[in-house]
Structure 1
Amino acid sequence: MVGPDHQRLKLTFFPIRIGRVPQIVSMIRQFVRYKASANHVQPDIVITAGTFLELLMVRLSRRTRKAFKVTWLRTIWVDQKTYRIPALIRPLVRKTEAWLLRGADLILGNGSDIAERYSVYGLKVTVIRNAVDLVRWSAPAPKIASPIRVAFVGRLAIDKGIVEFIEMARRVKSGPLADDFIFDVYGHSGEEALVAKAADAGILIMHGAVNNEALPAVLAELDLCVALTKSDPSRGGGGTSNAMMEQLASGRVMLAWDNMIFRQWLNPDNAYLATQNDVDGLIKQLYEIRLSPENARRRAANGHATVSHFGVDAMMNNFDEALQQAYESYSKTNPLRPRSRD
């Protein structure tokens, strides 16, 4: 929805055609065709957000490839797709990704783990952390009363830790404190079959995908959210999680892996951390929360305070500064064109 504050934006949507061909292929085709046929002035600046695939679209279109190109990385694509890319060709895919990113005039990332990962390939990434709408996600403090509601919110992907979440729920529900916890899963796109099987066994409740408009109300009813995206030295990190920031802004208790992704934001004073892949460590933290709900509420409040410095205005100010500096440097060696209507 475009409100009064965003009327400067002219939106064009490309419907994704779902089939055997990857969805990005449909998106690229539509974008290139649209730019080739529409009567648009060549833009001065093009900004893409996501991965190198959006930049690929820009480089394939004659109307955009000569513009000043900004790529805002939200994740490390190859690491995110590790489980789908054969190990034999993974190094080649990484190098191809880096080669394509060199076509950007400014590369931004939403986490220092992204910057560190791509620096291996000689790429400079300017870090601008994600922003969160603090007002929209505001919610009453969690109750943390038995039964404690523990939730996984996000893509049901292996790299997001859904397997460990299910195993944690299974062990707790087979133990003496089974009635003290309820495990909720909100999300889709991934291991739905595993989640459905666990739900059928009474281990957890499977809610499926939730409309973003309804998500603040959903979070307000939860006590604790998990952040279990995996990271390791060979794969790097996964960028900052928007879901984690929203959950912090809503004042939920956070239970996360103690890895390079979440250490950018979380610590033992504003969250509960466990060694990555250690399900028993997660369960130990759950039991600690049960024994000391007041301490859990304190950490949740600290988490909210941590994210309170990362509102939308602060992020846009950082972005504006980075863009101006990079574009001024670029303009010294590239002739300026008339301001575009696109």
Structure 2
Amino acid sequence: MNKVILFANTDWYLYNFRLSLAYRLRDMGHEVVLISPPGEYGPRLRELGFRWHAVPMIRRSLNPLRELNLVLWLARLFREERAALVHGFTIKSAVYGSLGAKLAGVPARVNSVAGLGYVFTSRDLKARMLRPVVRRVLRLALDGDGCALILQNPDDVQMFKTARLVDESAIHLIKGSGVNCSRFKARPADAPLSREPLRALLAARMLWDKGIAEFIDAARALKREGRSIRFILAGMPDAGNPASIERATIEGWVAEGLVEWRGHVSDMPALLAETDVMVLPSYREGLPKSLIEAAACALPLITTDAPGCREVVSVNGEDGLIVPVRDAVALANALRLLDDDRALARKLGLAARDKALREFDEAIVIDRTLGVYQTLAPAHQAAPSSVGIAR
């Protein structure tokens, strides 16, 4: 039996994005260890029968000594666990996990970078200053024998190739973490068109770079016109991210009558069943799961012409509506169009579901991820039908 360690920057991510991968690995006979900073989902992972370790990682820390100690802590853990493969998700977990795995002599290291995060999307001086340093660290951590890099969109693939951060042969394109499309139900195709107020949902972490300011500006403009569109936010601020929006700011929008705020939502299928259009005016993504979940429900999508987003909505007017990044006027125009033309909204939603079933179902994504594991399996490892890392 091989031991696989999955490492993410939050236990919430492991629970919501990689649980199906963990189940598949366990069903194949592998021992699975999940690690992340502490949180409320760690105990839930244990209740499901997985081993979970709390990692002493502070996501916003830039203290060199603390970060070095974290890498050494990870190396000790990987050595004690005798891990066969370590898979890190998001930049910090990928970099530190890979460095720790190198020190521990782990034979296979897989790193999934789902978007390039604050350092590469923000215009802040701090972010711009960090970019050259981050690029050098990425090259050190993510390159070398026994290492594979999974990216979620072609823009990120091109960026890594242009920057020569890793050998091109180590790069694999897998679109997202996948969605269990059977959990997300489409409304019957012959259901009558509703003339109730359009319900527009933005479901994401409450970060400025998700385009939430543009969503609010569009709400303000359309309400000023007398439109009855309901603007709904779902998600929480993320204190570990410099782009996080203050709770007081969100509550101010609610008090102004611009939006409804649902906070954290654990039952996304139920929320999407009460939604008419999904909006994500993000500045950059890996591959946004909220859009795919909405697509699986046959909801029309409005998103930006941004990396990651354009993988879900690729043809404007066919599988969704595309607006420019940071353009609240265009976003308002797209919402106005769907408010006035409910038949178009339905058509776009059905096309989005067809695409989700073809490209983004989690079974497809997991199969491809296991295929990457197989490329790193030593030649002497047991056959897939036995205990080796299998497709």
Q: Same fold (TM over 0.5)?
A: yes
1:69 aligns with 2:109: yes
Are residues 167 and 137 of structure 1, via their aligned partners in 2, closer, same or farther at CA, if it must alter by over 3 Å?
same
Contact 2:292 2:312 in 1 (8 A): no
Give distance in 2, aligned partners of 1:18 and 1:327.
27
Q: In 1, distance between residues paired with 2:147 and 2:100?
A: 16
Aligned-partner residue type, residue 313 of structure 1: A
Q: Which has the higher contact order (CA 8 A, sep 6+)?
A: 1
1:186: Cα distance to partner?
A: 0.7
Range that drifts further, 75-84 or 290-299:
75-84
For 2:206, the equivalent position in structure 1 comes to: 156
2:282 match: secondary structure: coil
Partner in structure 2 of residue 176 of structure 1: 226
Deviation at 1:108, TM superposition (A): 1.0
Q: What one-letter code is carried by the residue in structure 2 that aligns with 1:188?
A: M
* Structure 1 Cα separation of the partners of residues 283 and 290 of structure 2: 15
Equivalent in the alignment of 1:132: 179
Structure 1 residue aligned with 2:281: 228
Which letter maps to 2:281? Answer: L
Q: What secondary structure does 2:183 align onto?
A: coil
Structure 1 residues 120 and 65: CA distance shift in structure 2, 3 A: farther
Q: Which runs of 5+ in 1 are unaligned?
A: 232-237
Q: 1:269 aligns with which of 318, 321, 324?
A: 318
Higher alpha-carbon deviation: 238-247 or 297-306 = 238-247
Displacement, 1:160? 0.7
Identity %: 16
- Given candidates 88, 95, 99, the residue that maps to 1:48 is 88
1:206-257: CA deviation from partner (whole Å, max 9, x where unpaired): 221212xx111011101011121114xxxxxx31111111111122111111
Show the counterpart of 1:234: none
Distance apart, 1:81 and its partner CA: 5.9
Q: Say if 1:65 and 1:50 are closer, same or farther in 2 by CA, change over 3 A.
A: farther
Q: Is the 8 A contact 2:295 2:349 kept in 1?
A: yes
- TM-score normalized with structure 2 length: 0.72
Residues 79, 104 of structure 2: 8 Å contact kept: no
TM-aligned CA deviation for residue 13 of structure 1: 2.4
| Aligned residue type for 1:48 | G
> Which of the numbers 188, 193, 208 marks the counterpart of 2:248?
193
Find the aligned partners of 1:38 and 1:156 in 2 and give their Cα distance. 33
CA distance in 2, matches of 1:288, 1:162: 20
Q: Pick the aligned partner of 1:98 from 136, 139, 144.
A: 139
Kindly provide the amino acid, as one letter, of the partner of residue 195 in structure 1. Answer: I
1:114 to 1:224, Cα distance in 2 relative to 1, 3 A = same
1:240–1:28 Cα change, 3 Å: farther
| 1:303–1:61 distance in 2 versus 1, CA, 3 Å | closer
Q: How many residues align?
A: 325
AA in 2 matched with 1:297: R
Q: 1:256 — aligned with what? A: 303
Secondary structure of 1:281 counterpart: helix
Q: 1:250, 1:304 within 8 Å by CA — same for their partners in 2?
A: yes
Aligned AA (1:314)? I
* Contact 2:78–2:104 (CA under 8 A) maintained in structure 1: no
**Higher normalized helix content (fraction of residues):** 2
Q: How far 1:101 moved relative to its partner? A: 1.9
| Correspondence for 2:196 | 146
How has the CA–CA distance of structure 1 residues 82 and 243 changed in structure 2, closer, same or farther, with 3 Å as cutoff?
farther
Cα 1:32–1:217 change in 2 (3 A) is farther
Counterparts of residues 78-93 of structure 1 (less than 5 Å) = 78-80=119-121, 83=124, 85-93=126-134
CA contact (8 A) 1:73 1:107 kept: yes
